[in-house]
Amino acid sequence: MSLDITFLGTGSAYPSPMRGASALVLRREGQCWLFDCGEGTQTQLMRSHLRAARITKIFITHLHGDHFFGLPGLLCTLSLQSSPDTSRRPVDIYGPLGLRSFLRRSLELSHSQLLFPYAVHELVPTRDQCPDGEFKDFSGLDRDEEAPQGPLGQVLHLDPGEDSYLLLEDEQLVLRAFRLFHRIPSFGFVLQEKPRPGKLDVQKLKDLG
Positions annotated as catalytic residues are: 66
Q: What is the DSSP letter of 77?
A: H
Q: In what order do the strands lie in the sheet with 186-193?
A: 165-169, 173-180, 186-193
> How far apart are alpha carbons 73 and 39 in whole angstroms?
9
d(CA 72, CA 69): 7
Residue 80: helix, strand or coil by DSSP?
helix
In the DSSP assignment, the letter for residue 3 is E
